Structure 1
Amino acid sequence: MKKLFSLLTALSILSLGAVDVTDVKVDVRDKFGGDAGAVLSRCQTRPGVPYDPVMVSRDVTALNESGEFQEISADATRNAKGVTVTFSVYRKVRYQAPLEVTGNSFFSASKVTSEADLQDGGLYSEGDLADAAARVRAAYWKKNFPQAKVSIFPRMIPGGNNCTLRVVIDEGERQKVHDYVFEGAKHADADDLRATFDVFPWWNPKGWFSDSPVSDDQLAQAADKVRAYYNDLGYLDAQVAMPVRVPDGTGRVNILFKVTEGSLYKIGEQSITGVTRYSPDLVMAKSELPQTGSVAGAKTLADAAHRVMVTVGSGDSGLADTRVDVKRIPREDDPQVLDIVYVVTEGVPVVINDVVIEGNDYTKDKVIRREIALGPGDRMLEDRAERSQRRLENLDYFARVRYSLRQTNRGKDASGAEYRDLVYEVEEKNTGSFMIGLGASSIDSIYLSAELSQANFDLFAPGKWFRGAGQKGRIYAQVGPRIQTYEAAVTEPHLFDRLLELTVEAYRRQRWYDEYDLVRNGAAATLAYPVKFWPTWEPFGRFGVRLSAELISFEDVDDAQYYVNGSSDATRPLFKDEDSKYGDAAEAVLRLFWSHDTRDNFRIATRGGRTQVFGDLAGGDNSYWRLGVNHRQYFNVWRRYKHILMASVRAETIDSFSESDGVPIYNRMFLGGPRSIRGVEYRNVAPLREKAGGGDWSPWGGQTLFCMNFEYTVPIVQMLRLAAFTDLGSVGEEEFDLDFSDTFAWTVGIGIRLDIPMFPIRLDFATPLKKPDHAEEELFSFSVGYDF
């Protein structure tokens, strides 16, 4: 519930000549008493100074910003010697605890006090007290008291604006809801209708985060949503009566929606009228109108009208202020078929005088302007203006973005186009987050994680809490018995005001394996730039370069003897040898890469793909090269039911520059586990080494990797999907080693995807059709995160 801040309710100033202020008065309308001097001390308007309405306005603003008044106005009247200025104020009350609660039975007084959330000594207006009452009332609604009434009354303490507060509650009858029933709903599923107002079955995770409608106002809104749902299905005459509560005989009630569906309408012939600057046929073709015979849903027709408006508002003429109305004409021979006429009221050509940004309190203007594809002197084109709006919305910095045209006094250009300002109004929202949680996976066991991030970061603005420059900042920590990670990163997406993205990061990563612990301390800087290719010369992916430097060390290394190269005679403490040769290494890696991402959603994609091709050159204590490609593609194979097929391929190879140096185990390649080949233990799809004495085999890694994954997901309910998958791959011993016969694995399985916001869970059951001889099976695996 938003707090109602002090409002400037009236500022009535007469138009006066150059005269002096003769008197300044204070009209205290709250009748609390008190010193008028406290008001005058905040005002610059004083007797003897020239009367200035701007100064009076600033005085009203200063009084408002003090937070002590809920109503403020100023009035100026002429007298024989000059002007009398009167400030009228209505002060807030200052609450003194405790809160007096009467009429409560279900909730205790302490619970009511907690829900009211009023602070001892706080200043409150009548609106603030109404908000507190609403919070208590909402708490009752959640507990199925639909008729609960809550009022808060101040009791003034003589001698000032201090008061105690009395909460008067009429709880009404508790009516726990058993079900929401739809009488007359023949062509819509009841679960779909309930979902329109966020009521889901108990087993659907989305229902765990929403409140069911209980009060009369909430039920009226629910009825409107059900009616809108029917309208979008093509039942344009659908009616939904105000829901009523019907006892079910068990002490609970059913909420009954009486639905009159009406007829299902289809689209007949479509035409456009009112267009003079363009050919109507051309406008229809560019507007992508719905097909004849398709359902005449309200949203379908509204979207089509909007596309017509954008088409007319773009092109060569660019007619701003174009309006499109939809006229539905039933056919005489079949009234359920509607001939649709898009009635266009053409606007006027407009040239942009200036681009004005409003509402950005801390986001820098340039962060917004660089997303706007129009500038001063450009013809106003609706398609570009809308595309700019979507780009601003996609930044996720703003709760709302809208644009409009504002009249100017500049007139028209030589062609007759009007000069207007293009105004983008934004409403900023919280772009920072702090998350702490407990996670688990088959690989990492149980771990505690915490993340502090800011999506609209400004490294050089501590006065604005490091917000506003469009950078991204992140600090992350993950601590568990098998993993410890600490990371800090800053990304500047427009370095030097160009499409050059710079990311700087520092990290410490430690992981515990059965044979050794590995610690990586490092830092990296990445530069990436959009690349263009012939013949379109449109941006197609990003080319980048990444330079990293790491200190890599082993800890708690297994000193047991292992057979060398599978021999039953020669043994060595292989992991101790790795520590001796490659431990405490300083390694610098230069990576060149090209990446391309066309996914429609970065979390749960339904179409598009993601590709990265890279090459590494490493120097320092370890000198090697690495080549790799990773591609993942999503196909919406059954659009109506949102069946998604994911296919991915990954291939890498690595080798040292010197044959004698070799490749350290921490740079070699492994497969297996929940994020590569499910059904086989983590890192077990790779060359293995047998511990002397027999029985135990440990991952040793290889220098060439190939892996393919296919997964088909089917949504069951909101936030719950079933998956069927197959994974296959292998790791070769040497560089470009394509003989995978010894380490090849192929698995199949099924899984569950719980798409809980910010905490998606993947549960998989898999079995190998083929696996390396000594690799361990892993029937069940789970992880937290989106697609690997």
Structure 2
Amino acid sequence: MRLFNTMLFLTCSLFAVAVVNTTQAQETETQYPRVKAVRLDFKGFQAVSDQYVLGNIQLREGMDYSQTLVDQSLRALYKTNYFEFVEVKVEGDPKDEVVVVFELVCKYLIQQIRFNGNEEYSDSRLAAKTELETNQALDEYQVSLAADAIKEYYVDKGYPDIEVDYRLIRDDETGYATVNFDIDEGGKVKINRISFKGNASFKDKRLRKVLETKKASWISWLTGTGKFSEVKFKEDLELLRQFYRNEGFLDVVVDENLVEFDFKTEKKVRITITVDEGQRYYLGDMSVLDATIYTEDELLRQVQIAPDDAFSPESVDEAATAIREHYTSQGYLETRVRAERVPNMDSRRIDIVFRVRESEKYYVESIKVEGNTKSKSRVIVRELALRPGDVFDLKRMETSENRLKNTNYFEDVILSPETTNVPGRKDLGVAVREGRTGNFSFGAGFGSVESAVFFVELSQANFDLFNWRSGFQGDGQKFRFRASIGTSSNQIVISFEEPWLFEQRLAFGVELFRSESDYNSTEYNELRTGFEIYLRRRLFELVEARLSYRLELVDIFDVAGDSDTIDPNDGVPDTFEAAEGEEVVSKVGLTFLRDTRDNLLFTRKGNRSSILSEVAGLGGDVNYYRLEGRMAHFIPTFDTLEQSFSIVARTGTISPYGQSKEVPFYDRYYLGGPESLRGFEYRDIGPRDSDTRSDEAIGGNTYGLVSFEYLFRIAEPLGLVVFYDWGFVNSDDYDFSPSDYGDNWGIGARILLMGSPLKLDFGIPITTPDGADDGAQFNFSFGTRF
């Protein structure tokens, strides 16, 4: 047996050697012809240079001929989009030398793009819609798409009868072509009225709210309403059908062919939509089948519908979802609920049977995080409302997903349960995609108070103070550096915040600042230098508390008068002259804040309320305590133009104590300017110094402010407001007498520029307090008033 194996091995070895020798011999015999030349043969005109073509060909003179290189060259030439047809021919002896011939048929180049018949829109505007350019290879398919784009643009602008054709004029000698777009605009049509027929159950006004198509109005030039679009109108008819079905009219018919278009003039049309409502159906009895974990009554309490309600398919689906969410919130993740409908056509009642397929209960086995290339895993895990061992609650999983999205660290966040090998256990999978959290910006800003300001700002929302290798990123801390210099102020601010101190939901922050300004008054300049440290924590619901300590050096300098020889006749308040120099302010503050606003820029509903208590005198040169309350409430009114009404109310008092006989004027209350009484100059509302001839306000210890504002959001980045402001400032603490008040009314605009709201307000005084200027004021500033 051993001898047989040895002979078999020798035989196989000899055969392998023979095969190798044969292969080498065949390779030696295979010879490729050499490329004698590469020749270009243009059929017709030549649109590109020889050098351009040769640059895309892989073969060269003197190389071995290779079919692979030929194929690569063909792909490269077609990819340039300059050739209609390319063919390769080989001439010569295939065993010696060959000439490789590339026969090329060039595409025409666009020499000119012309628009004919366009009266409403310029050639340049239409050219931007085509995405065609001169010297570009002519592609008739792209030209047809360009014609469609022009037509779509006209339809969107209110020209439903627009016709767009194209003509191509080719020059076979030069290889250039002219593209002509022939446009028949057909006249612009505005919708003058939208009415309905057959709508016995709902008024026209209610049905018009369902439609995206609106009639023209005096602000249509801003809102874009009043234009007829066939595509949008068909979608509106389907929205109308859905509305009726969800109101119980399951047999409703809205026939597109019965819509009437009555042209009042050539440019105005009245649209009448005919509705066949049919019969209305109502909910009958509701029951639950196959539920063993919860009772029928317990499950039906989760739904928002009841017998005798108008039957709504959408509401029934939502009811089934609510029952399923009751299960999934308790860990029964794979429970399914199907709503079965049992109609009774005689009574027009539809019974609902919720059929349940229950699953086992699941718990969280482990948390798996992936995709976090910068952020530490703990930054992600600490935001989760689920922990290993918890009941796997889908609602808490959704809450966790929203928390991670709200950090703004990630572009994408997806949380999902993942199967494990352990019965009754699932892993919580967390997949994230890192986003850009750092920001560097510089620029200029303008305001009616601070005039021109030039600034530079560096911020990092996912900062890591102790990890320079990662570029100081990944630990969820906040860092900000801002420096600005302007005509009336300059400022440097450095701030740092750790939102999870000791891995608890407790924020710790510190801010260093230096701020110099001369816009508070024409009589003095002010410089504040110092720091603030704070702790912030969410207490309950949406209420958070902030405890802070602030130490600052306040320097009042360049006072117009001479503080060494106070002169009541020099026109400068004695209060300013006496305060010239430096004072240290050391104070502790406690703030409670609740914010439920739906939008921080164009707010329509919600409330923002805060209460501040502050004590100065833990060291330092001044002693006072402050109590202040602020509230902003927003009420949506009409959906048209996203109208809303807001009320802003503020009040506060500040009192000296101990050795301090008065509160320093720079920490008192003033009104006037873009954030308070907008019909008066900045800080112009307040008590005056009775011992001097100055009209300069020196501030008061008690104030009150009420502001009413009505907003029309007429476009995505633009809102118009009408406002009324009322307020007072009194000298004494706890003096809330409104006897010497000021008020104003006005109009304004809110413009969203690069993510920041610009406020433009023109205020007109109604009642002017003693000493204040009674001229109208124009204010403009960035930010919100709240």
TM range (shorter): 0.5 to 0.7
Give yes or no for contact 2:484–2:490 (8 Å, CA) kept in 1: yes
Secondary structure of 1:701 counterpart: coil
CA spacing shift, 1:766–1:174, aligned 2, 3 Å: same
Give yes or no for contact 1:504–1:523 (8 Å, CA) kept in 2: no
CA distance in 1, matches of 2:112, 2:140: 17
Secondary structure of 2:304 counterpart: coil
CA spacing shift, 1:298–1:399, aligned 2, 3 Å: farther
Alpha-carbon displacement from aligned partner over 1:400-451 (angstroms, at most 9, x marks no partner): 755433434x1x33xxx2x33434556777878879897666xx38767889
**Equivalent residue, structure 1, for 2:364:** 352
User: What amino acid maps onto 2:535 in structure 1?
Assistant: A
User: What amino acid maps onto 1:686 in structure 2?
Assistant: G
Alignment partner of 1:628 is 2:643: no
Give yes or no for contact 1:449–1:478 (8 Å, CA) kept in 2: yes
CA distance in 2, matches of 1:472, 1:257: 58
CA spacing shift, 1:362–1:645, aligned 2, 3 Å: same
Instruction: Give the stretch that moved more between structures: 367-376 or 571-580.
Output: 571-580
**Equivalent residue, structure 1, for 2:293:** 277
The structural deviation recorded for 1:178 is: 0.7
Matches within 5 A, 1:62-73: none
Give yes or no for contact 1:245–1:254 (8 Å, CA) kept in 2: no
Alignment partner of 1:593 is 2:600: no
The structural deviation recorded for 1:700 is: 1.5
**Equivalent residue, structure 2, for 1:652:** 653
**Equivalent residue, structure 2, for 1:669:** 669
CA spacing shift, 1:354–1:226, aligned 2, 3 Å: farther
**Equivalent residue, structure 2, for 1:388:** 400
Instruction: Give the stretch that moved more between structures: 674-683 or 345-354.
Output: 674-683
Secondary structure of 1:422 counterpart: strand
The structural deviation recorded for 1:297 is: 5.0
Alpha-carbon displacement from aligned partner over 1:239-258 (angstroms, at most 9, x marks no partner): 55559895836444749574
In the alignment, which of 295, 303, 321 is matched to residue 306 of structure 1? 321
In the alignment, which of 707, 715, 724 is matched to residue 704 of structure 2? 707
**Equivalent residue, structure 1, for 2:336:** 323
Give yes or no for contact 1:678–1:747 (8 Å, CA) kept in 2: no
CA distance in 2, matches of 1:323, 1:227: 29
**Equivalent residue, structure 2, for 1:529:** 536
CA distance in 1, matches of 2:455, 2:129: 29
CA distance in 2, matches of 1:293, 1:721: 44
CA spacing shift, 1:551–1:774, aligned 2, 3 Å: closer
**Equivalent residue, structure 2, for 1:571:** 568
**Equivalent residue, structure 1, for 2:500:** 494
Alpha-carbon displacement from aligned partner over 1:206-256 (angstroms, at most 9, x marks no partner): x83668876654444444445445555665555555598958364447495
CA distance in 2, matches of 1:200, 1:481: 49
User: What amino acid maps onto 1:260 in structure 2?
Assistant: V
User: What amino acid maps onto 1:311 in structure 2?
Assistant: H
CA distance in 1, matches of 2:419, 2:142: 38
Alpha-carbon displacement from aligned partner over 1:269-293 (angstroms, at most 9, x marks no partner): 54444432111212232x2524556
Matches within 5 A, 1:371-386: 371-386=383-398
User: What amino acid maps onto 2:588 in structure 1?
Assistant: R
In the alignment, which of 541, 546, 551 is matched to residue 544 of structure 2? 541
Matches within 5 A, 1:185-196: 186=199, 187=202, 189=204, 193=208
CA spacing shift, 1:259–1:754, aligned 2, 3 Å: farther
Alpha-carbon displacement from aligned partner over 1:289-318 (angstroms, at most 9, x marks no partner): 245565555554444433222112123xx2
User: What amino acid maps onto 1:322 in structure 2?
Assistant: T
CA distance in 1, matches of 2:408, 2:254: 36
CA spacing shift, 1:97–1:720, aligned 2, 3 Å: same
CA distance in 2, matches of 1:479, 1:571: 34
Alpha-carbon displacement from aligned partner over 1:541-572 (angstroms, at most 9, x marks no partner): 223224354554444x44399x99xxxxx825
The structural deviation recorded for 1:320 is: 0.9
The structural deviation recorded for 1:622 is: 4.2
Structure 2: give runs of 5+ residues left out of the alignment: 1-23, 28-52, 60-78, 82-106
CA spacing shift, 1:114–1:538, aligned 2, 3 Å: closer
CA spacing shift, 1:519–1:732, aligned 2, 3 Å: closer
CA spacing shift, 1:551–1:725, aligned 2, 3 Å: closer
CA distance in 1, matches of 2:429, 2:414: 8
CA distance in 2, matches of 1:228, 1:602: 29
Give yes or no for contact 1:269–1:338 (8 Å, CA) kept in 2: yes
Instruction: Give the stretch that moved more between structures: 143-152 or 500-509.
Output: 143-152
Give yes or no for contact 2:284–2:352 (8 Å, CA) kept in 1: yes
CA distance in 2, matches of 1:504, 1:68: 59
Alpha-carbon displacement from aligned partner over 1:511-545 (angstroms, at most 9, x marks no partner): 4245325344545444333264xxxx878522322
**Equivalent residue, structure 1, for 2:561:** 559
CA spacing shift, 1:271–1:134, aligned 2, 3 Å: farther
Q: TM-score, normalised by structure 1?
A: 0.65
**Equivalent residue, structure 2, for 1:745:** 740
CA distance in 1, matches of 2:327, 2:116: 61
CA spacing shift, 1:439–1:634, aligned 2, 3 Å: same
CA spacing shift, 1:373–1:32, aligned 2, 3 Å: farther
**Equivalent residue, structure 2, for 1:61:** none
User: What amino acid maps onto 2:706 in structure 1?
Assistant: N
Secondary structure of 1:388 counterpart: helix
**Equivalent residue, structure 2, for 1:687:** 687
Alignment partner of 1:208 is 2:222: yes
Secondary structure of 1:512 counterpart: coil
Give yes or no for contact 2:194–2:215 (8 Å, CA) kept in 1: no
Matches within 5 A, 1:766-781: 767-768=766-767, 773-777=770-774
The structural deviation recorded for 1:610 is: 1.7
Give yes or no for contact 2:116–2:181 (8 Å, CA) kept in 1: yes
CA distance in 1, matches of 2:141, 2:378: 37
**Equivalent residue, structure 2, for 1:697:** 695
Give yes or no for contact 1:767–1:779 (8 Å, CA) kept in 2: no
CA spacing shift, 1:587–1:195, aligned 2, 3 Å: farther
Alpha-carbon displacement from aligned partner over 1:709-730 (angstroms, at most 9, x marks no partner): 3748697989878778674544
CA spacing shift, 1:295–1:218, aligned 2, 3 Å: same
Instruction: Give the stretch that moved more between structures: 542-551 or 361-370.
Output: 361-370
CA distance in 2, matches of 1:212, 1:68: 45
Q: CA RMSD in A?
A: 6.0
Instruction: Give the stretch that moved more between structures: 219-228 or 301-310.
Output: 219-228
Give yes or no for contact 2:510–2:534 (8 Å, CA) kept in 1: no
User: What amino acid maps onto 1:494 in structure 2?
Assistant: W
CA spacing shift, 1:265–1:678, aligned 2, 3 Å: farther
CA distance in 2, matches of 1:467, 1:260: 60
Alignment partner of 1:248 is 2:280: no
Alpha-carbon displacement from aligned partner over 1:294-353 (angstroms, at most 9, x marks no partner): 5555554444433222112123xx211333344455565653x65544444434433334
In the alignment, which of 193, 199, 212 is matched to residue 197 of structure 1? 212
CA spacing shift, 1:435–1:637, aligned 2, 3 Å: same
Identity of aligned residues (%): 20
Larger radius of gyration: 2
User: What amino acid maps onto 2:300 in structure 1?
Assistant: M
In the alignment, which of 491, 516, 519 is matched to residue 512 of structure 1? 519
How many matched pairs? 674
CA distance in 2, matches of 1:652, 1:672: 17
Secondary structure of 1:311 counterpart: helix
CA distance in 2, matches of 1:165, 1:462: 59
Give yes or no for contact 1:605–1:634 (8 Å, CA) kept in 2: no
User: What amino acid maps onto 1:385 in structure 2?
Assistant: M
The structural deviation recorded for 1:595 is: 1.8
Give yes or no for contact 1:213–1:219 (8 Å, CA) kept in 2: no
The structural deviation recorded for 1:688 is: 0.7
The structural deviation recorded for 1:627 is: 2.2
User: What amino acid maps onto 1:599 in structure 2?
Assistant: T
